[in-house]
Amino acid sequence: MRETYGAILPGMNLAEMTGKLIVIEGTDGVGRSTQIKLLRPWLEQQGRAVLDTAIKRSELAGKGIQQAKEGHTLGRVTLSLFYATDFADRLEHEIIPALRAGFVVLTDRYIYSLMARAIVRGADATWVRNAYSFALKPDAIFYLRIGVDDLIPRVVFSRGFDFWESGMDIHPSEDMYDSFRKYQTELLGEFDNLAKEFNFEVIDATPDLRTVFEGLRAGIARVLSGEPREPLFSVTPPAPAEVPEAASTKVVEMPATGKPAASAEDETQPVAQALAKAAEGDASR
């Protein structure tokens, strides 16, 4: 029987959702949608019916959010709630019916991105968790993890900096690069917090597309076969704020899963930056 994170919506029947709910999480530009484009045909070749869904795709609120984001008067609480509306609509009208019909639901982001964005924008932690407490607990959450230094070139050389992905609404700056770095560092730090709380399976997103795909494929195959989870990659525990500079040269020990280790830089630097950020940000929240 499925569970939610707390609230149960009227008419939500948690029994008979035989499909699998698989979440791909990760920050802007990390390659989630590219991976989903590869995963879908792979699953379909095995005879699995797939529904893929993503933020802002709801029939109800997708267009409204797009329009609201084009203006300059969208408040932080309003933005959060607009996204929650979009999410609820997709949950009730797409995800749940698909799970009932036995589909594999691949969702490009879930509530965690929305929570991270809201928290970075100063939302109250209890408030955010409550707002999304009606969400179904997924069968697996794969988090494509990347450090800000590896992220930046990907974004620059693909789509360029976007106003919202650069957090220009909270770090107004003449320089989108500075703003992007600052905002994404905060966001990645928040993702690391959520990774622990919600038990993400972390996949290193720094290697090439193929390697990341293979990692995801192995994880999803395991979920579909009903095998228990084996940690792929452990999230760095909240190191003390005074992470020494030297840490960036230390090789991170990997759990014995035979996966290649991320570069040490990728592993430690964003966490250290995020912690520093969190320390200075806490007072203002």
User: How many whole angstroms from its chain centre is CA 283?
Assistant: 25
| Nearer Cβ to another protein (33/85) | 85
133 or 257: CB nearest another protein: 133
State the maximum Cα–Cα separation within the chain, in Å, rounded to a whole number: 55
> How would you class 28 by CB atoms within 10 Å of its CB: exposed for 0-12, middle for 13-18, buried for 19 or more?
buried
Q: How far is the CB of 33 from another protein (least distance, A)?
A: 24
DSSP state of 246: G
Q: How far apart are CA 124 and CA 119, in angstroms?
A: 7
Q: Judged by CB, which is closer to another protein: 96, or 140?
A: 96
HSE value, Cβ hemisphere, 13 Å, CA-based, for 267: 23
Binding site for another protein (CB under 8 A): 6-11, 59-61, 63-64, 67-68, 71, 73-78, 80-82, 84-85, 88-89, 92-93, 122-124, 126-127, 130-131, 133-134, 285
Cα dihedral 128, 131, 132, 134, rounded to 10, equals 150
**234, 202 Cβ separation under 8 angstroms:** yes
Least distance to another protein, CB of residue 107, Å:
17
Q: Is the dihedral of CA 136, 196, 86, 95 positive or negative?
A: negative
CB atoms within 10 A of CB 106: 24
Residue 10 beta carbon to another protein: minimum distance, rounded to whole angstroms: 3
The dihedrals phi and psi of 44, each to the nearest 5 degrees, come to: -65, -35
Tell me the closest approach of the beta carbon of residue 113 to another protein, in angstroms.
17
- Nearest approach, Cβ of residue 64 and another protein (Å): 3
Shortest distance (Å) from residue 9 CB to another protein:
5
* Other residues' Cβ atoms within 10 Å of the Cβ of residue 70: 9
State in angstroms the smallest separation of the CB of 80 from another protein.
8
Nearer to another protein, 89 or 265 (CB): 89
56 Ramachandran zone, left/alpha/beta (phi>0; psi -120 to 50): left
User: Nearest distance from residue 86's CB to another protein, in Å?
Assistant: 9
Identify the CA nearest to 57 among candidates 26, 94, 31: 94
